[in-house]
Structure 1
Amino acid sequence: MDNSQTYSLFMATDVACRILGVDPQVMLETAGLGALARGRTEVRGTAQQYFDCWNTMEVLSPRPDYVPHLGVAISRGPVIPVFFTLSCAPDMETGLMRLAQFKSLLGPTLMRVFWDGNLLRLEFDSVDARVPMPPSFGALQLLVAVENIRGAAAHLVCPVAAGFDGSEEERHMIAGHLGVMPERSHATYVAFSPEDAKRRFISENPALWADIEADLKLQLATQNDRWPVAERVRGALVDLMPAGRTGAEDVAQALGISRSTLQRRLREEETSYQAVLDATRRDMAVRYLTKTTLRADEIANILAYRDANSFSRSFRRWTGLSPLAFREADTLPSTSGKTQ
């Protein structure tokens, strides 16, 4: 394990802090990581720094029930593209297998999915055996997984067993949400019956999944120098846009190169940063308008526009139609619900 590997702190600084009402800069300063954000547009940290942030949020949170509150809010609130891996799937087992491939895009966690006898078992662990995952963070993983499964199935799916290395108080805190009392165990896990594992998801969306999978693979490959730089820029943008970051400086930092080098390499590929940004936004906008029922303001937020009007102006420039008119004119069947 390379302990210099870094992970986006978007889920901590932009999502969890906002939900808990904690100032992200105060959180970083309290964790001794204030320097990470100074002069930077994208905040990244090692596994140890990531978990330090979580432990600090635990201290700063004004809510004693911060774990279940966060778990429910994350699952039902912001549109997080990685979770499309689950919601677009035909059933729980397929969705969890897909999510496991891309879980590291959300932070330094490993996710394993396997059959344990006649139960489908889902386990979470730190990517680095030398940096243990905090028990309360493991509890959050269990809650988010179960809540997302319920949303995709439109059914109150309850695990048959669960466990993590938390105190009795911590385990009681999430038991009511899970529908089962977690045992105290070294492994952070949740297990489901074979009937639930094969339960069909009402949010199944194979057409959207084909596009989302390609984008997520681009995100994983962003740091691969052998890829065309325009493709690496697209992958970085897919990662950065939900955090509201679309500047060339943001992307250059994510790719580990200077802004001038980024622009020069794009010129060598006979394109420009603005052209890649516009193409990425256009393709994603068309996808969400034709393959989901996300509202224009939700799509604008995913694509890091200030508001729905700014998004609408750009979309009209690309297509000659407003987002609503484009959706109404589309000939594809609009049968998918809002997926997340």
Structure 2
Amino acid sequence: MDSSQTYSLYMATDVACRILGVDPQVMLETAGLGALPYGRTEVRGTAQQYFDCWNTMALLSPRPDYVPHLGITISRGPVIPVFFTLSCAPDLETGLMRLARFKSLLGPTLMRVFWDDARLRLEFDSVDARAPMPSSFGALQLVVAVEKIRGAAGHLVCPVAAGFDGSEEERRMIAGHLGVMPERSHAAYVAFSPEDAKRRFISENPPLWADIEADLNLQLAAQNDRWPVADRVRGALVDLMPAGRTGAEDVAAALGLSRSTLQRRLREEETSYQAVLDATRRDIAIRYLTKTTLRADEIANVLAFRDANSFSRSFRRWTGLSPLAFRQEAARAAIVSRATD
């Protein structure tokens, strides 16, 4: 494991701090990370710095029930593309296997899915053995996973077993939400019955999954300098846009390039940064308008527009239609297509 690898701190500085009412700059300074350029460019940190942020948020949180509160709010709150790996799947086992492939895109965590004594077991661990995952962070992973599973299944799925390395008080804090009292264990895990493992998801969406998988693979490949720069830029944007970052300087930093080098290499591929940004936003917008029920303001947020009006103006420039009109036209075309098949 390369301990110099960095991860976006967006989930900590922008999502978790906002939910808990903690000032992100105070959190970073308290964690000894005040020198990170919060607010000016994407903030990234090593696995150890990522977990230092989490431990500091736990200390600063005004809520004693911060783990279940944060987990439930994250699950029901902002659209996070990685979680489509789970919700688009046909069933729980398939969804967890897909999510495990891309979980590291959300932070320095590994996710393992396997059968153990006729139970489907889901485990979480740090990507770096030298930076152990805090027990309360493991508890958060369990709450988020169970909440996301219930939403996708449309059913109150309850684990048959769970565990993490926390005190009895910490374990009781999430027991009511999980529906089972977690045991004290080194691994943060939840286990599901065979019936629940094969439970069909009401949110299954094969067409959306095909597109999401392609985007997430681009995210994983963004650091591979053998790929065309335009593809690497798109992969970086898919990662950065939910954090509100679309600047060339953010993408260049994520790819380990200077801004001038990024722009020069895009010119060599006969394109530009703005062209790649517009095409990426347009393609993702069309996907969400035609394959999901996300509102225009939710799509605008995922694509890092200031507001729904800014998104609508750009979308009209790309397609000649407003987002609502485009969705209606696509729905009519789908009805006609099914009628003529």
Verify the 8 A CA contact 2:25 2:38 in the aligned structure 1: no
CA distance in 2, matches of 1:76, 1:38: 26
- The reply on whether 1:26 has 2:19 as its aligned counterpart is no
Structure 1 equivalent of residue 202 of structure 2: 202
| TM superposition shift of 1:14 | 1.2
Structure 2 equivalent of residue 121 of structure 1: 121
CA distance in 2, matches of 1:115, 1:40: 45
CA distance in 2, matches of 1:299, 1:239: 15
Deviations 1:199-251 (A, max 9, x none): 00000000000000011111111111101000000001000000111011111
Q: Could you say what secondary structure the match of 2:234 adopts?
A: helix
Q: Could you say what secondary structure the match of 2:35 adopts?
A: helix
Verify the 8 A CA contact 2:96 2:113 in the aligned structure 1: yes
The one-letter code sitting in structure 2 at the alignment partner of 1:51 is: F
Instruction: Report 1:260-339 matches (<5 A).
Output: 260-331=260-331
Structure 1 equivalent of residue 224 of structure 2: 224
CA distance in 2, matches of 1:63, 1:255: 37
CA distance in 2, matches of 1:324, 1:248: 30
CA distance in 2, matches of 1:217, 1:20: 32
- The reply on whether 1:150 has 2:150 as its aligned counterpart is yes
Instruction: Report 1:1-340 matches (<5 A).
Output: 1-37=1-37, 40-331=40-331
TM-score of the aligned structures, taking structure 1 as reference length: 0.97
CA distance in 1, matches of 2:201, 2:65: 29
Residues 199, 104 of structure 1: alpha-carbon distance in 2 compared, 3 angstrom cutoff: same
Q: Could you say what secondary structure the match of 2:284 adopts?
A: helix
CA distance in 1, matches of 2:74, 2:11: 9
The answer to which structure, 1 or 2, has the higher relative contact order (CA under 8 A, 6+ apart) is 1
The one-letter code sitting in structure 2 at the alignment partner of 1:56 is: T
Deviations 1:288-319 (A, max 9, x none): 00000000000000000011010000000111
| TM superposition shift of 1:137 | 0.2
TM-score of the aligned structures, taking structure 2 as reference length: 0.96
Q: Could you say what secondary structure the match of 1:36 adopts?
A: coil
CA distance in 2, matches of 1:221, 1:157: 34
CA distance in 2, matches of 1:301, 1:40: 19
Aligned residues: 334
Instruction: Report the aligned-residue RMSD.
Output: 1.1
Residues 270, 145 of structure 1: alpha-carbon distance in 2 compared, 3 angstrom cutoff: same
CA distance in 2, matches of 1:26, 1:333: 51
CA distance in 2, matches of 1:9, 1:299: 22
Residues 39, 241 of structure 1: alpha-carbon distance in 2 compared, 3 angstrom cutoff: closer
CA distance in 1, matches of 2:239, 2:122: 25
CA distance in 2, matches of 1:188, 1:303: 33
Residues 296, 116 of structure 1: alpha-carbon distance in 2 compared, 3 angstrom cutoff: same
CA distance in 2, matches of 1:104, 1:139: 17
The one-letter code sitting in structure 2 at the alignment partner of 1:279 is: A
| TM superposition shift of 1:38 | 5.6
| TM superposition shift of 1:37 | 1.9
Identity of aligned residues (%): 89
Q: Could you say what secondary structure the match of 1:297 adopts?
A: helix
The one-letter code sitting in structure 2 at the alignment partner of 1:323 is: P
The one-letter code sitting in structure 2 at the alignment partner of 1:187 is: A
Deviations 1:74-108 (A, max 9, x none): 00000000000000000000000000000000110
| TM superposition shift of 1:333 | 5.3
Deviations 1:99-131 (A, max 9, x none): 000000011010000000210000001111121
Residues 177, 333 of structure 1: alpha-carbon distance in 2 compared, 3 angstrom cutoff: farther
| TM superposition shift of 1:162 | 0.2
Structure 2 equivalent of residue 337 of structure 1: none
